[in-house]
Amino acid sequence: MSELLDLPWHEAQAQASPRELVDASLRAIETRDESVHAFLHVNADARGDGMPLAIKDNIVTTDMPTTCGSRILSNFTSPFDATAIARLRANGASFVGKTNLDEFAMGSSTEHSAFGPTRNPWDLSRVPGGSSGGSAAAVAARMVPAALGSETGGSVRQPAAFCGVVGLKPTYGRISRSGLVAFASSLDQIGIVTKTVRECAELLGVIAGADPLDSTSSTQPVDDYAADLASGVRGLRFGVVREAVERLEGEVRANFDEALNVLRGGGAIIEDARVPAISYAIAIYYIVANAEASANLSRFDGVRFGHRSERSKTLDDLYFHSRGEGFGAEVKRRIMLGTFALSSGYYDAYYGRAQAVRATLRGQFADAFARFDFLLTPTTPEPAFKIGAKTDDPLSMYLSDIFTAPANLVGIPAIAVPSGFSAEGLPLSLQLMAPHFGERALFRAAAFFERETEYWKRKPR
């Protein structure tokens, strides 16, 4: 049974019926998830004639609850499916469960879930990354062939890196956000986690595309994302983001240099690229994301959505207690920071300036992409850290996103691909970024790298 889920999807499908594959997935969850805790809900009656999928629990589904990892939504089931879910359903997908996340996708470790942390399948004493930690761990532990996550600043790529799987953040607007619970609307995108690049490309083809329910979804035609997977990288131009890698050392640096050699071996042209404003990305991100979050989360007030406190006599009281009881500490921190950044007298100094530097960053990326087809960094500055190592130090937690947040701020697609292992046996990962709507090219380069290295074949014990 486990062997079936070790195979890339097109091979698994050739060897077993859809029913057998869904059963294999449900059995794998039953035996493995006790130690990993990737799932918040399991759908034992999952049906369908396609791929068994796990869905991050901030994407709404009519057949399972959607909690966003929060007490405030612990009893919520959506009356409608997210557009991505509806498209997958129409394609026969079986939704086997909903995966754990940092509350409202705010975090980098899945430790901010109200329902307990997920553990990294490679080392149960470590975090799987976050906020889509449950989705990445579920794929890494071979409980499902693929999962959906969400990205605001790295929440698919960073956990994919920590768990040794493929993670895609598509171009802003490529996938409808209808039914993805909003965190920061100018940054949010649904993302995809898989074992291999091909599975990722095929899934994107199913869920991408314009949607009348999301006015920010793009009308750009959906590409044939798997068309160039075998084309290699000869003559393609890769820029190494100097500002991102110059201070890196140790294993992550050595692994990144090895990855460059793999690409060079395929005939890629590799040169230095400059994106100086990248050093401000974390500062911009945490102002913009929290400001937008403070507005988006106002709908959880105990009246329209969410837990309603029993302790209230007045309406103000009802808001106060419902939100006070429902939200966890990290979400409260973000709402306070975001409200402050938007408040009268501070708006220009924080939100206004962050947006201005964001525009500068966008310009520098555009300049770099005039010379390069791709930009490269490691996906994360370090491999998976220990559970508890950063929970008392929000700033060091925020720095986990240093290489991933720039793509969200600029709206470009980026992919994380396994690039090897640390001496301790923890996964390492290479990030490739491409210009807007360059997903097809990203898959081409990532597939070359995957074929040369085959790290995806290793799995946690």
Q: Is 344 left (phi over 0), alpha (psi -120 to 50) or beta?
A: beta
178 lines the binding site for ligand GLN (CB under 6 A): no
Smallest separation, CB 231 to ligand GLN (Å): 30
| Residue 402 token pair | 């240093």
Site string for ligand GLN, 179-198 (x = CB under 6 A): ----x---------------
171 lines the binding site for ligand GLN (CB under 6 A): no
Catalytic site residue from 131, 176, 294, 419: 131
401 lines the binding site for ligand GLN (CB under 6 A): yes
Please report which helix (H) or strand (E) contains residue 273, including its range: strand 269-273
Q: Which residue, among 167, 135, 196, 163, has the nearest Cα to 6 in the 3D structure?
A: 196
149 lines the binding site for ligand GLN (CB under 6 A): no
108 lines the binding site for ligand GLN (CB under 6 A): yes
Smallest separation, CB 4 to ligand GLN (Å): 31
User: What does 375-415 look like in DSSP terms, one character per residue?
Assistant: EEEESSSSSPPBTTSSTT-HHHHHGGGTTTHHHHHHT--EE
289 lines the binding site for ligand GLN (CB under 6 A): yes
For residues 435-450, one letter each, b for 16 or more C-beta atoms within 10 angstroms of the residue's C-beta and e for the rest, the string is bbbbbbbbbbbbbbbb
**Given the rule CB under 6 A, which of 148-156, 171-179, 346-354, 420-428 is the region that contacts ligand GLN?**
148-156
Q: Where are the alpha helices (DSSP H) in 303-352?
A: 315-326, 329-342
**Given the rule CB under 6 A, which of 153-161, 196-204, 233-241, 350-358 is the region that contacts ligand GLN?**
153-161
Smallest separation, CB 40 to ligand GLN (Å): 16
Q: Between the CA of residue 163 and those of 106, 133, 205, 407, 461, what are the distances in Å?
A: 19, 8, 24, 20, 13
Using the 8-state DSSP alphabet, how is residue 165 labeled? S
Identity of residue 18: P
Residue at shortest CB range from ligand GLN: 155
**Given the rule CB under 6 A, which of 106-114, 212-220, 294-302, 428-436 is the region that contacts ligand GLN?**
106-114
384 lines the binding site for ligand GLN (CB under 6 A): no
**Given the rule CB under 6 A, which of 101-109, 139-147, 250-258, 416-424 is the region that contacts ligand GLN?**
101-109
Residue 131: cis peptide before it, omega within 30 degrees of 0 = yes
Q: Considering the complex, state which of residue 5 and residue 105 has its C-beta at the smaller distance from ligand GLN.
A: 105
**Given the rule CB under 6 A, which of 85-93, 100-108, 301-309, 410-418 is the region that contacts ligand GLN?**
100-108
Smallest separation, CB 108 to ligand GLN (Å): 4
Q: Considering the complex, state which of residue 202 and residue 401 has its C-beta at the smaller distance from ligand GLN.
A: 401
Query: Residue 58 and residue 244: Cα distance in Å, rounded?
Result: 30
Q: Which residue, among 28, 141, 50, has the nearest Cα to 42 in the 3D structure?
A: 28
Smallest separation, CB 333 to ligand GLN (Å): 11
153 lines the binding site for ligand GLN (CB under 6 A): yes
154 lines the binding site for ligand GLN (CB under 6 A): yes
Burial of 17 (0-12, 13-18, 19+ CB in 10 A): exposed
Burial of 332 (0-12, 13-18, 19+ CB in 10 A): middle
Burial of 93 (0-12, 13-18, 19+ CB in 10 A): buried
Q: Considering the complex, state which of residue 120 and residue 322 has its C-beta at the smaller distance from ligand GLN.
A: 120
152 lines the binding site for ligand GLN (CB under 6 A): yes
Is 422 an annotated catalytic residue?
Answer: no
129 lines the binding site for ligand GLN (CB under 6 A): no
Q: Between the CA of residue 232 and those of 170, 238, 252, 267, 398, what are the distances in Å?
A: 21, 13, 25, 9, 35
Using the 8-state DSSP alphabet, how is residue 360 labeled? H
105 lines the binding site for ligand GLN (CB under 6 A): yes
322 lines the binding site for ligand GLN (CB under 6 A): no
Is 56 an annotated catalytic residue?
Answer: yes
Which residues contact ligand GLN by CB under 6 A? 105-108, 131, 150-155, 183, 289, 401
Active site residues: 56, 131, 155
